[in-house]
């Protein structure tokens, strides 16, 4: 139990971010109309690709002869990039159609 | 200096993610919002590569590997995103989501290996850190295997599969993964730690498969949304491990947003999340009432064209059949032809019609159907009483009266479009086969209903031809 308290106080900033961002996420999303649910899901999916930065850090730290870390890191960056790029491009394709319609 | 600039870049990126999501809530700003977040993401990625400093102050190495992976990933991502058909969009999102989950898992695996190489020093491998590593692996792997199964199911490659006691086995799998994680953390110096870690890895993968396999039909959008929020949380675990606040913020933001989206979808179907996850939908099918079978009545193209041309108001109910047939443009053409004849034409959009919420809106938007013609479910239900003809294009479960009348039906309680309030109902389907949820639809046997069999695009083209000739 004591170790949990210690852990929380050691990571105070992260715990604050956690709580505030959860509320933020709830509020921002609850205003989205049904029409935009599919693009929104795709957009959120693209953002979840932020994990790619963790992958880049892992890879950049790996020793040049630590092939396991390099290969796993390469895969992580590759998959993360597909997630980010594919996610944003697909969302844009969907939203492009909404825009066309706006012009009379 | 570089570190301060990077901190600033991360803060700006986090703001762009939030702004992006906010701008996504309005159709007029949505596209810009997507780009804003995209630019924030690219900046943050470049900043990480060139400005990030390790705790010992050194810059990141292996740039060739990093740029190689990014270049290949970008090409694959753009190619896949540009190539995919509008109908296959939900599958694509699911697939991308799974890859993000895999990426998050790999980070936790590498971090675990790193700690294992150091012999799990007490200061670097606290209970909290280990919990985050295990959470990253478990959530990431569930996202990965679950999303792949969802992708396979939506594209018709994987069939529904359920067996007796599956929920119990699922719970045991999940429980075992957690219990084993706690066991490993309790004694990291044990010789079996690394092997047990990979057993947790496998358990999570298998759980993801069994978790999605029995869930079929109408619940698939909910599952994709849920997996999306899980992938956000697994990303946040990665952000926590590297004390990277933008990754953490982005991950939690997606986790929270995805959860809310999941709940909104469940609400639209009047089902609780627990029900969706525990009660396999369409897998068993034993409850599906078949009592109402009888004669269905067919209508000729010519008759259908006449009824619609002389109607005052026609409401079109699009469903997945329209998407599969890529008939949205022909549908828009029919709408214009009818309007020339003085018929008022609108669309009744069920929130979960198609394979994802908003799927139909995207599809019709592609065909330039104007916004104000799209009615949401409540608005549409108010208008059916004054509607002469309802034309159902490949929709099924969202107009199934069993949702209101048959407590034994798996979709009982889901709000539906009350098409029966209209004077006539014309149903276009390819055959009498039950819909995605695998439930018989009594609507097709009602006296008001007439069936117009055939591929949606072909039928709509023929209808347009008939109307022109009237």
Q: What is the ipTM of this complex?
A: 0.92
User: Are residues B138 and B152 located together in one domain of the fold?
Assistant: yes
For residue A99, pLDDT over 70 is answered with no
Looking at residue B286, its pLDDT comes to 40
Task: Report how far Cα B262 is from the mean position of its chain's Cα atoms.
Answer: 9
Please give the tally of structural domains in chain B. 3
Looking at residue B76, its pLDDT comes to 96
With respect to residue B295, please indicate whether it lies within any of the assigned structural domains: no
User: Are residues B120 and B175 located together in one domain of the fold?
Assistant: yes
Nearest to A41 among B66, B128, B225 (CB): B225
Q: Which domain holds residue B171?
A: 86-284
For residue B335, pLDDT over 80 is answered with yes
For residue B178, pLDDT over 50 is answered with yes
Bigger pLDDT: A10 or A33?
A: A10
Size of chain B, expressed as the number of residues it contains: 470
User: Are residues B442 and B372 located together in one domain of the fold?
Assistant: yes
pLDDT band for B100, please (50, 70, 90 cuts).
very high
Q: Over chain B, what is the mean pLDDT?
A: 86
How far off is chain A from B342, nearest CA to CA, in Å?
A: 21
User: Are residues B107 and B65 located together in one domain of the fold?
Assistant: no
Bigger pLDDT: B251 or A37?
A: B251
Nearest to B253 among A24, A32, A100 (CB): A24
With respect to residue B406, please indicate whether it lies within any of the assigned structural domains: yes
Q: Do B81 and A93 touch (CB under 8 A)?
A: yes
User: Are residues B311 and B277 located together in one domain of the fold?
Assistant: no
User: Are residues B120 and B164 located together in one domain of the fold?
Assistant: yes
Tracing tokens 């090409």 back to the chain, one arrives at B75
Looking at residue B435, its pLDDT comes to 65
Q: Where is the domain boundary, B26, B50, B83?
A: B83
Catalytic residue annotation of B: 397
CA distance B162 to B137: 25
With respect to residue B289, please indicate whether it lies within any of the assigned structural domains: no
Tracing tokens 């193209």 back to the chain, one arrives at B301
Mean pLDDT of all residues in A90-96: 88
Q: What tens digit of pLDDT does each residue of B356-370 get?
A: 777 788 788 878 888
With respect to residue B419, please indicate whether it lies within any of the assigned structural domains: yes
Looking at residue B278, its pLDDT comes to 66
With respect to residue B294, please indicate whether it lies within any of the assigned structural domains: no
User: Are residues B192 and B219 located together in one domain of the fold?
Assistant: yes
Q: What is the CATH number of the domain that holds B374?
A: 3.40.50.1220
CA distances A69 to A61, A76, B303, B319, Å, are 9, 10, 68, 47
Structure tokens at B114: 């790193």
Q: How far apart are the first and last CA of chain A?
A: 63
With respect to residue B296, please indicate whether it lies within any of the assigned structural domains: no
Contacts of A1 in chain B (CB under 8 A): none
Query: Phi and psi (nearest 5°) for B335?
Result: -60, -45
Q: What tens digit of pLDDT does each residue of B248-305 get?
A: 999 999 999 989 888 887 776 666 777 777 655 444 444 444 444 567 888 888 889 9
pLDDT band for B99, please (50, 70, 90 cuts).
very high
User: Are residues B462 and B329 located together in one domain of the fold?
Assistant: yes
By C-alpha distance, which of A85, A29, A94 is closest to B69?
A85
User: Are residues B190 and B241 located together in one domain of the fold?
Assistant: yes
Within an 8 Å CB–CB cutoff, is residue A35 touching chain B? yes
What is the Rg, in whole angstroms, of the alpha carbon atoms belonging to chain B?
Answer: 26
User: Are residues B377 and B451 located together in one domain of the fold?
Assistant: yes
Looking at residue B32, its pLDDT comes to 93
Looking at residue B90, its pLDDT comes to 82
User: Are residues B221 and B267 located together in one domain of the fold?
Assistant: yes
pLDDT band for B216, please (50, 70, 90 cuts).
low
With respect to residue B56, please indicate whether it lies within any of the assigned structural domains: yes
For residue B444, pLDDT over 90 is answered with no
Contacts of B77 in chain A (CB under 8 A): 81-87, 89
User: Are residues B102 and B214 located together in one domain of the fold?
Assistant: yes
- Which of A64-73, B67-76, B397-406 is modeled with the greatest confidence? B67-76
Looking at residue B374, its pLDDT comes to 87
The interface residues of chain A toward chain B in range 66-85, judged by CB-CB distance below 8 A, are 68-70, 72-85
Size of chain A, expressed as the number of residues it contains: 104
By C-alpha distance, which of B403, B318, B335, B419 is closest to B369?
B335
Residues B23 and A98 sit within 8 Å (Cβ to Cβ)? no
CA distances B308 to A82, B386, B463, Å, are 47, 14, 10
With respect to residue B344, please indicate whether it lies within any of the assigned structural domains: yes
Bigger pLDDT: A1 or A88?
A: A88
Sketch the domain layout of chain A as residue ranges: 1-31, 34-104
How far off is chain A from B57, nearest CA to CA, in Å?
A: 11
- Which of A39-48, B136-145, B411-420 is modeled with the greatest confidence? B136-145
Nearest to A83 among B24, B100, B109 (CB): B100
3-class DSSP assignment, residue A26: helix
């Amino acid at each position: 139990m004591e170790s949990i308290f210690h852990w929380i106080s050691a990571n105070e900033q992260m715990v604050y971010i956690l709580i505030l961002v959860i509320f933020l996420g709830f509020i921002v999303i609850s205003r989205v109309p049904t029409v935009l649910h599919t693009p929104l899901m795709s957009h959120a999916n693209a953002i979840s690709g932020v994990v790619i930065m963790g992958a880049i850090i892992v890879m950049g730290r790996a020793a040049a002869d630590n092939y396991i870390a390099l290969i796993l890191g390469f895969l992580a960056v590759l998959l993360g990039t597909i997630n980010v790029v594919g996610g944003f491009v697909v969302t844009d394709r969907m939203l492009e159609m909404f825009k066309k319609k706006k012009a009379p | 200096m570089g570190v301060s600039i990077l901190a600033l870049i991360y803060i700006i990126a986090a703001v762009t993610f939030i702004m992006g999501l906010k701008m996504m809530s309005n159709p007029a700003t949505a596209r810009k919002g997507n780009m804003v977040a995209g630019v924030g993401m690219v900046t943050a990625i470049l900043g990480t590569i060139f400005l990030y400093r390790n705790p010992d102050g050194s810059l990141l190495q292996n740039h060739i590997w990093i740029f190689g992976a990014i270049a290949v990933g970008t090409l694959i991502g753009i190619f896949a995103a540009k190539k995919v058909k509008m109908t296959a969009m939900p599958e694509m999102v699911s697939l991308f989501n799974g890859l993000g989950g895999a990426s998050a898992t790999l980070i936790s695996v590498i971090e675990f290996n790193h700690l294992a190489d150091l012999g799990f020093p007490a200061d670097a491998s606290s209970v909290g850190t280990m919990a985050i590593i295990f959470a990253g692996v478990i959530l990431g792997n569930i996202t990965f295997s679950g999303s792949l199964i969802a992708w396979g199911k939506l594209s018709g490659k994987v069939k529904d599969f359920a067996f007796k006691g599956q929920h119990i086995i699922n719970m045991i799998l999940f429980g075992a993964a957690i219990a084993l994680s706690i066991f490993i953390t309790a004694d990291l110096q044990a010789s079996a730690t690394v092997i047990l870690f990979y057993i947790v890895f496998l358990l999570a993968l298998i759980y993801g498969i069994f978790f999605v396999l029995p869930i079929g039909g109408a619940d698939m959008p909910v599952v994709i949304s849920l997996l999306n929020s899980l992938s956000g949380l697994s990303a946040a675990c990665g952000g926590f491990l590297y004390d990277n606040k933008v990754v953490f913020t982005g991950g939690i933001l997606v986790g929270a947003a995805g959860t809310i989206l999941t709940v909104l979808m469940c609400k639209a179907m009047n089902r609780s999340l627990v029900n969706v996850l525990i009660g396999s939908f369409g897998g068993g099918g034993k409850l599906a009432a078949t009592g109402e079978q009888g004669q269905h009545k067919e209508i000729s193209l010519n008759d259908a064209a006449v009824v619609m041309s002389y109607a005052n108001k026609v409401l079109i109910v699009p469903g997945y059949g329209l998407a599969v047939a890529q008939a949205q443009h022909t549908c828009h053409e029919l709408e214009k032809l009818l309007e020339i004849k003085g018929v008022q034409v609108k669309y009744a959009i069920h929130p979960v019609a198609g394979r994802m919420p908003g799927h139909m809106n995207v599809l019709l938007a592609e065909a330039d159907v104007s916004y104000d013609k799209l009615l949401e479910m409540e608005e549409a239900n108010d208008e059916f009483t004054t509607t002469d003809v309802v034309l159902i294009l490949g929709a099924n479960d969202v107009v199934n009266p069993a949702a209101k009348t048959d407590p034994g039906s798996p979709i009982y309680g889901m709000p539906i479009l009350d098409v029966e309030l209209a004077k006539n109902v014309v149903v276009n389907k390819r055959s009498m086969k039950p819909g995605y949820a695998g439930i018989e639809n009594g609507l097709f046997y009602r006296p008001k209903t007439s069936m117009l069999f055939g591929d949606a695009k072909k039928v709509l083209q023929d209808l347009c031809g008939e109307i022109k000739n009237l």
